[in-house]
Structure 1
Amino acid sequence: MTEFIAPRAASQAEVVTRALTEAAAEAGRAPSIFNSQPWRWQIAGDVAELRADRQRQLPTVDPDGRLLTTSCGAALHHARIALAAAGFAAEVTRLPVETDADLLARIRLVGEQAPERAVLHLRWAIALRHTDRRPFIDRDVPPAASRRLCEAAEAQGAHLRFLEPDEVSTLAHVTARAGYVEFTDPQYRAELSAWTGRPAGTRDGIEPATAARQEQPRPVPMRNLDPGRRPDPTTHGLVDRHASYAVLYTDADTPADWLAAGEALSAVLLTATDCSLAASRISDVIEVANTRRLLRNLFGGDRYPMIALRLGVPHGGPLATSARRTAVEVIDVADAAR
């Protein structure tokens, strides 16, 4: 590891602060529950702190902050990849202050290092990755890609398990159950409406016009993002027949595990993008406590599912970019002069 070398015009402090700020901005591309982007960054000198933004927590869907923490974990991994690709070495301390539950991680830059090719590929994937709810083409996920995704999860302290056909049936059952439980809850419908009907110019939430269409049956039902829209009865035929379904899980069920699951989720999704695969998340089965327990049965009851994933070969074509908050809205940089 080498020491930082000040460039011609900028001081060492300016270089590292700018690097952290740019990494935090890249972290804004991370996936989050309902695209709520529930994070804030505080940067001072060579340290960036990732904090949970509890004002963006979903009280009905995510009362304990599980998915908020997972979302922040994905942002943390995005930031780590951006820093590594830019040639910086960093120390990451997760949940550094026991009495401050909102402080999820602290990143300190400690030197320079040449970026590995794999890191550069993931960095490029940050700009390319999108949630893809469209049906996949009739081509199986290559076994080599599946292995890479499992290895990506393991490297972040979590596990990814691809489901067998009978297990996909179980996932379909518990997902349908979760959808029914949530749909019959007026508070859930109000929360969904709030995040899918954002005012014009809002840089968060979900666009139903581009994300909600689900006109044909699938092996595992997807969340209905537009409950007021009735399906077209003239459409028939199962789609996503060659989709693969996987569950990301951890060995325990603490905030530290939720954070690790988020980092693993980011690693899996970026690796999938690098493998020319598309993915969408199935979180409603996790949001309902009863269906989350039912899904645990696939693992003998001693593992903790954090999110399910649908993966496949995309049809291609452009996807609308999800709205993202600006760096000014989520990043606070301390004034070095103070």
Structure 2
Amino acid sequence: MTTVLHRAAQDAGLAPSILNTQPWRWRVAGEALELYADAARRLPHVDPDGRLMVLSCGTALHHARVALAHAGREPAVDRLPEPGRPELLARLRDLRARPVTPESILAYRCIRQRRTDRRTFAPGAQVPGAALDRLRASAEAEHARLYPLQRQDVVYLRYAVQGAERVGGRDPNAAADARRWTHRGADAADGVPPETVAAAADRQVPLRDFGLGDEAALAAGPGDDDGAEYLVIATDGDEPLDWLRAGEATSAVWLAATGQGLAASPLSDVVEIPGARALVRTLLRPAAQPQLILRLGVAQRVEPPPGSPRRPVTGIFDAN
């Protein structure tokens, strides 16, 4: 059983996270697997409340659940099991045998296929409505909501993103946070490498350049993302449990999108700035708390974008 748990945690290391900080640690405790937030990897000025750190850990939690399902195991999951230990986010225990289904095989395969694709999407190619319905169901299965923004609301999203850019650009501490994770060096096992960041392009909703400017080395491609869908992942509440659930929903939606041949990238800057997040909140009906936005579309190219580096499994485990 210990081997199964270690392998699940290793697979969970492929989950997306804010600035690829990978802010999680795992511990095998008997026949249980515990997930901890690694506060040393939190962005102190970009993410002062730890919202995006916990959300990132939620994506790893869902990845671990997918890996266990592929191994024929279904755990009971205790989220925030000990109020006196807020860094302990989840405990996976009582691994029961379960059939391995075609759906669990596909989801596991998508863990390795998933990429953050910041290139422009294929001009004129639309995301099918049936695909959006499946993604909405994936979010709801994780106790979250998914709001595809209407075309008229994308204009307001653009305003929110531009406002977040202006506010963030005036904050030297936030800029230092970003620089810490975007200039890690060629041998780094984390952070955002320049080859994964698209060069500037005229898009309907701009993407952040993470302070890289001309160092961004990924060709954006033609078009202005006219076929992009902007999906707001939201929750009813805005507490750590909601953030964790939002991360699980992010993973579920992104893996489901990958399984349908769609490409995606997150927009986290718009939820980092309170004013921009408040604007996005006004677009949601029924009302909810926006936690992250996924930009979704049809990739222009068959070849995937470069992957982000990952920490070795020895770097994400605490000793028993």
Same fold per TM (> 0.5)? yes
Query: Cα distance 1:300–1:271, how it changes in 2: closer, same or farther (>3 A)?
Result: closer
Hey, what does 1:268 align to over in structure 2?
Answer: 253
The answer (yes or no) to whether the contact 2:59–2:248 under 8 Å persists in 1 is yes
State the AA in 1 paired with 2:229.
Answer: S
Hey, what does 1:193 align to over in structure 2?
Answer: 179
Match of 1:62 among 47, 56, 59: 47
Deviation at 1:219, TM superposition (A): 1.0
Question: Distance in 2 between the 1:269 and 1:44 partners?
Answer: 29
Question: Distance in 1 between the 2:72 and 2:94 partners?
Answer: 11
The answer (yes or no) to whether the contact 1:217–1:237 under 8 Å persists in 2 is no
State the AA in 2 paired with 1:82.
Answer: A
The answer (yes or no) to whether the contact 2:199–2:214 under 8 Å persists in 1 is no
Deviation at 1:224, TM superposition (A): 1.7
Hey, what does 2:197 align to over in structure 1?
Answer: 211
State the AA in 1 paired with 2:238.
Answer: D
Question: Distance in 2 between the 1:210 and 1:126 partners?
Answer: 18
Q: Percent identity?
A: 44
Query: Cα distance 1:177–1:239, how it changes in 2: closer, same or farther (>3 A)?
Result: same
Q: Trace 1:120-199 onto structure 2 (pairs within 5 A).
A: 120-138=105-123, 139-199=125-185
The answer (yes or no) to whether the contact 1:136–1:314 under 8 Å persists in 2 is yes
The answer (yes or no) to whether the contact 2:194–2:212 under 8 Å persists in 1 is no
Q: SS of the counterpart of 1:332?
A: coil
Tell me the C-alpha RMSD between the 2 structures.
1.8
Structure 1 residue 223 corresponds to structure 2 residue 205: no
Question: Distance in 1 between the 2:195 and 2:92 partners?
Answer: 38
The answer (yes or no) to whether the contact 1:212–1:226 under 8 Å persists in 2 is no
Question: Distance in 1 between the 2:185 and 2:114 partners?
Answer: 25
Question: Distance in 2 between the 1:247 and 1:272 partners?
Answer: 14
Deviation at 1:230, TM superposition (A): 9.2
TM-score by length of 1: 0.90
Q: Deviations over 1:13-32 (max 9, x none)?
A: xxx11000000000000000
Q: SS of the counterpart of 1:154?
A: helix
Q: SS of the counterpart of 1:106?
A: strand
Question: Distance in 2 between the 1:225 and 1:131 partners?
Answer: 14
Hey, what does 1:92 align to over in structure 2?
Answer: 77
Structure 1, unmatched stretches of 5+, are: 1-15
Question: Distance in 2 between the 1:98 and 1:147 partners?
Answer: 36
Hey, what does 1:49 align to over in structure 2?
Answer: 34
* Larger displacement relative to structure 2 (250-259 or 194-203): 194-203
Question: Distance in 1 between the 2:222 and 2:253 partners?
Answer: 30
Q: Deviations over 1:263-314 (max 9, x none)?
A: 0000000000000000000010100011111111112694100011110011
Structure 2, unmatched stretches of 5+, are: none
Hey, what does 2:8 align to over in structure 1?
Answer: 23
Q: Deviations over 1:75-111 (max 9, x none)?
A: 0000000001110121100000011110000001332
Deviation at 1:238, TM superposition (A): 4.8
Q: Deviations over 1:145-168 (max 9, x none)?
A: 111110000000000011111111
Write out the 4+ residue segments of structure 1 that deviate beyond 4 Å after TM superposition. 235-238
Query: Cα distance 1:27–1:99, how it changes in 2: closer, same or farther (>3 A)?
Result: same
Question: Distance in 2 between the 1:75 and 1:115 partners?
Answer: 20
Match of 1:280 among 262, 265, 285: 265
* Larger displacement relative to structure 2 (282-291 or 181-190): 181-190
Q: Which has the larger radius of gyration?
A: 1
Question: Distance in 2 between the 1:209 and 1:110 partners?
Answer: 40
Hey, what does 1:108 align to over in structure 2?
Answer: 93
